[in-house]
Amino acid sequence: MENNKDIRDAIGAAKLKQWQVADMYGLSEGNFSRMLRKELSLKKKEEIFTAIEKAKKEFKKVN
């Protein structure tokens, strides 16, 4: 089973790239990707889902 599949699915459903969410979360793309390798706590997941929502708003303005 893939770790943090819910986060990966949410990023895909939002039509975002991991680097965009990483930017909103405050990490580099590489560090964000490495962080997703191990299952995250509920608190961290909530923070990332918030970053996904922020990224959706921010990057829709650009496109």
Predicted TM-score of the model (pTM): 0.90
pLDDT digits (tens, 9 = 90+) for 26-55: 999 999 999 999 999 999 999 999 999 999
Which 3-state string (H, E, C) describes the chain? Answer: CCCCHHHHHHHHHCCCCHHHHHHHHCCCHHHHHHHCCCCCCHHHHHHHHHHHHHHHHHHHHHC
62 or 15: which carries more pLDDT confidence? 15
**pLDDT tier for residue 63 given thresholds of 50, 70 and 90:** low
50 within 8 A of 43, measured Cβ to Cβ:
no
Of 26, 16, 27, 23, the C-alpha closest to 56 is 16
Confidence (pLDDT) at 60: 83
Paired tokens of 20: 């965009």
